[in-house]
Each structure stands twice: as structure tokens, then as C-alpha cells.
């Protein structure tokens, strides 16, 4: 018998850990949000005949070093390992709590040619929409995800192979399993909640986990998340959503960073 509550609890923990890790990593990549320095008080000038307090001597008055930014190799390894680990935990939880494969969209029918083709078509269309939104944003001076993407772009052929064949598939598989398979499919099947309502809520969480991509990137990611959820709900296939997600990410890197 499926223990829906236990699985929902594990999915909530995985989501929380992912959002915390995403928040902590924003300052380590270009384009991520960092805390602004505290505002200085108003400069009050004393009369010439009044001696103000003397500043305390400091052991080192040199410039404060900025937070170092991580290189592409470290960033890619961090993404693959962290999301891969969380993905394994989620798969184990689904097995342990006996969540049906159909609820997650991974039953045999989900891998049929029709849903996979639908996922590929959706991925191409979403990539074009994503690029259009980025172009409009740049025209109006709104920061997008270019700096974040550039920080992850490899510098060698081997790096590109790792990105396209390891990192991006892991990212697409894990994020679709969590945000679409677990938070939409499983919760809808287990608790009788509308999948479209869950699609909207999970898309908000999906956007919140991409704060390093800038303001426009967060908005676009939220819309993309709902579109991927629609692919999942309409096809009943997690594989279709994974294919669409992978194509959007891969095309962005290959077209813009090669």
C-alpha cells in the first residue's frame, strides 16, 4: 500500500534542501544575488576649532577581497553531485513508499514514441520562446541568465561532453522528477488535488530555485516550469518533460556559448 504522506514529506525535504542550496550558491556565480553593503551614516563636518574623535588604528586597512567566484568545473561538479544525490534519495523514497510508476509518469507507456516526440517538439518551441523573452529583456535593460550560463560554459571539448552528456541530463531528470513527477503527479494521485493547481504551485517553487539567473531569469523559469508541467500533465509522461527540459538547456548552451 502506498504511503503517500511519507513520500510527500520526503519530497518536501528534498525541495527545501534544494532551495537552500540554490540560495547559498547565488553569491558564488556571476549574476547571483549578493547582499548589499550597509549604508553609511551621514557625514557631519565639525567646525575647524573642534577636534573630532580619532579613528581607531586597524591592523590591516587593505581592500577587502571579494567573494571568489567558482570556475566552470567546480560549478558543474557541484550541480551534478548535489542534484544527483537528491535524485537518488527521491527515487529511493518512491520505491520505499510504493508510489506507482504511473503516478510519477515513468510507466512503460511514458516511453512510447508519441510522448517522446511531443517532448522534443515542446523543447524546441520552449527554447525559441525563451530566447525571445531574453532578447526582449535585453532590449529593455533587464538582466537575464547570460552571466550564470557563461559561468557554467565549459572551456574544452571534454568539458562540453561532460556538460551535455552528464550534467544537463542529471539536471533535467532530477528537476522533472521533483517538480513534475513528485510535486504534480504523485501529490495529485495520492491526495486528489488538481494537477493544474499543483503545476502552478510547483512552478513558483521551480522559479524560486533559479534566483542566480537574475530577475528576468526567475520569471522566465517560472513560466517555463508551468509549460513543462503542462507537457507532463497532458502526456502523462515524465520522459516527455525530461526531453523538453534537456533540449531547452542544451540548445541555450550550444547556441549561445559555443
pLDDT tens column, 18-27: 999 888 876 5
Q: Is the confidence at residue 59, as pLDDT, over 50? A: no
Q: Does residue 42 have a pLDDT over 60? A: no
- Cell readout for 6 is 511519507
For the stretch 179-235, pLDDT in tens is 999 999 999 999 999 999 999 999 999 998 887 676 777 888 899 999 999 999 999
Residue 249 covered by a domain: yes
pLDDT band (50, 70, 90) for residue 34: very low
> What percentage of residues in the chain have a pLDDT greater than 90?
57
Q: What is the pLDDT of residue 167?
A: 92
For residue 170, tell me if it sits in a domain.
yes
Contact 188, 194 (CB under 8 A): yes
Query: For the whole prediction, is pTM greater than 0.85?
Result: no
pLDDT of 193: 97
* Per-residue pLDDT, 121: 98
User: Does some domain include residue 60?
Assistant: no
Q: Does residue 36 belong to any structural domain of this protein?
A: no
160 within domain boundaries: yes
Q: For residue 27, give its domain range.
A: 4-31+70-257
pLDDT of 40 reads 41
How many domains does the chain fold into? 1
pLDDT of 210 = 81
**Residue 127 belongs to some domain of the structure:** yes
Q: What is the pLDDT of residues 88-126, one digit of tens each?
A: 999 999 999 999 999 999 999 999 999 999 999 999 999
pLDDT recorded at residue 67: 44
67 versus 148: which is more confidently predicted?
148
Confirm whether 63 is domain-assigned.
no
Amino acid at each position: 500500500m502506498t504511503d503517500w504522506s511519507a513520500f510527500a514529506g520526503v519530497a518536501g525535504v528534498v525541495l527545501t534542501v534544494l532551495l537552500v542550496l540554490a540560495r547559498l550558491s547565488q553569491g558564488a556565480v556571476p549574476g547571483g544575488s549578493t547582499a548589499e553593503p550597509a549604508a553609511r551614516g551621514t557625514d557631519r563636518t565639525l567646525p575647524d576649532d573642534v577636534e573630532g574623535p580619532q579613528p581607531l588604528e586597524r591592523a590591516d586597512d587593505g581592500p577587502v577581497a571579494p567573494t571568489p567566484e567558482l570556475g566552470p568545473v567546480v560549478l558543474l561538479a557541484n550541480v551534478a553531485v548535489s542534484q544527483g544525490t537528491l535524485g537518488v534519495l527521491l527515487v529511493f523514497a518512491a520505491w520505499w513508499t510504493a508510489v506507482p510508476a504511473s503516478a510519477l509518469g515513468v510507466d512503460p507507456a511514458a516511453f512510447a514514441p508519441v510522448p517522446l516526440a511531443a517532448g522534443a517538439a515542446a523543447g524546441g518551441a520552449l527554447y525559441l520562446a525563451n530566447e525571445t523573452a531574453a532578447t526582449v529583456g535585453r532590449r529593455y535593460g533587464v538582466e537575464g541568465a547570460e552571466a550564470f550560463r557563461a559561468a557554467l560554459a565549459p572551456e574544452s571539448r571534454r568539458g562540453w561532453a561532460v556538460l551535455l552528456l552528464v550534467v544537463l541530463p542529471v539536471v533535467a531528470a532530477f528537476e522533472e522528477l521533483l517538480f513534475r513527477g513528485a510535486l504534480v503527479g504523485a501529490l495529485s494521485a495520492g491526495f486528489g488535488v488538481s494537477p493544474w493547481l499543483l503545476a502552478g504551485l510547483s512552478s513558483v517553487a521551480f522559479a524560486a530555485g533559479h534566483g542566480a539567473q537574475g530577475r528576468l531569469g526567475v520569471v522566465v523559469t517560472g513560466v517555463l516550469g508551468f509549460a513543462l508541467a503542462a507537457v507532463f500533465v497532458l502526456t502523462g509522461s515524465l520522459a516527455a518533460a525530461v526531453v523538453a527540459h534537456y533540449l531547452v538547456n542544451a540548445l541555450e548552451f550550444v547556441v549561445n556559448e559555443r
